[in-house]
Amino acid sequence: MTILLTGGAGFIGSNLAKQLLEEGHQVICLDNLDSYYAPDIKWKNVQQTLSIPAYHFHQGDIRDSDLVDTLFQTYAFDAVIHLAARAGVRPSVQDPALYYDVNVNGTLTLLQAMQRFGVTKMVFASSSSVYGDSPQVPFTETDSADRPLSPYAASKRAAELLCHTFHNLYSFDIFCLRFFTVYGPLQRPEMAISQFTESILNGQAINVFGDGSTARDYTYVDDIVSGIIQSLKNLKGYEVLNIGGADPISLANLIRVIEQAVGQTALINRLPMQPGDVQQTYADIRKATQLIDYHPSVRVEDGIQRFVDWFRSRQDADLVMK
């Protein structure tokens, strides 16, 4: 298959690109290398696959309809895997207009291009944040998702609805995958596990928002990649699927796991809960198991150890380069 992969230079996208290439697909990556975190990190991700003939990288914005049309004219896409988005729950509170523009209007630009050029298949990266602070756990796809707590969450839910509209109007096959807190090698540096690992290794205090009782359903990136590829193989109709680890862990216990993997004790700076944060996330993955044969296999304890090992190897490589 020839696949347009948006956001392919990022954390999930670069891991996914490598797996798609190994499976024999042609991958056309579109990423604007924005400054939400250091663009050179994303460029390093791209360089891992840039020499592979079946991989083509284009720097640009999903909101640029002329560029998107050019890509659709140049390549005969079989499907779109749409990961590109402005990320981050807390920052979205400060700049909601940007999040809506990128995440909703960018998605609309892609869907319209698909309609114009006769491409009818998309896997869309949504988020567990659409569930808001639901007291009912685990979260199931039939739960109400109409009370998001952040502009980021609202933008993801709005994009899901756009996807359904184009399924209804043009018979697109679209799966909206609600990812649950992804972690692993190449993870974005501002995410909690990255920040905690770096700070503990350097003997610096970590900022802990709340009393440590908040819980997240952390999902190792290899399991997320598996869920995306399984969705691509089973893509038919319109579906919303939870792609999570189905094994939530409290923030306090997560810190203990990282301490054990690092071999050092964390210094903790306690702060109030942040606007937009939810108390817990927990994926009911029965639908994904039945529909796409999704089976997460990496326990958080093992995944954290893998991440810490990778983080240390990256630090060692950086020291060699200096």
CB–CB of 167/173 below 8 Å?
yes
pLDDT of residue 133: 81
59-72 confidence digits (pLDDT tens): 999 999 999 999 99
The identity of residue 147, as a single letter, is R
How far apart are the C-alpha atoms of 248 and 298, rounded to whole Å? 13
For residue 319, pLDDT beyond 60: no
How far apart are the C-alpha atoms of 154 and 144, rounded to whole Å? 13
CB–CB of 27/20 below 8 Å?
yes
Non-local CB neighbours of 61 within 8 Å, separated by 6+ positions: 32, 67, 106
Non-local CB neighbours of 88 within 8 Å, separated by 6+ positions: 36, 152, 190
69-106 confidence digits (pLDDT tens): 999 999 999 999 999 999 888 889 999 999 999 999 99
Q: What angle do CA 133, 139, 140 make, to 5 degrees?
A: 135
CB–CB of 286/243 below 8 Å?
no
Q: Is the preceding peptide bond at 138 cis, omega within 30 degrees of 0?
A: yes
Q: Which residue has the tokens 């109400």?
A: 144
Three-state DSSP class for residue 255 = helix
* 105 DSSP assignment: I
* 304 DSSP assignment: H
Residues of the chain with pLDDT > 90, as a percent, come to 77
How far apart are the C-alpha atoms of 144 and 148, rounded to whole Å? 10
pLDDT of residue 321: 40
pLDDT of residue 201: 92
Beta strands in 70-172 (DSSP E): 79-82, 121-127
The residues that are catalytic are 152
Paired sense of beta strands 121-127 and 182-183, if any: unpaired
Query: Mean pLDDT across the stretch 167-174?
Result: 98
How far apart are the C-alpha atoms of 213 and 221, rounded to whole Å? 24
How far apart are the C-alpha atoms of 184 and 15, rounded to whole Å? 10
CATH number listed for the domain at residues 2-321: 3.40.50.720
Domain ranges of the chain: 2-321
Query: Mean pLDDT across the stretch 236-265?
Result: 94
Q: Which among 85, 103, 71, 69 is positioned nearest to 12, based on CA atoms?
A: 85
Task: Write down the pTM of the prediction.
Answer: 0.93
End-to-end CA distance of the chain: 41
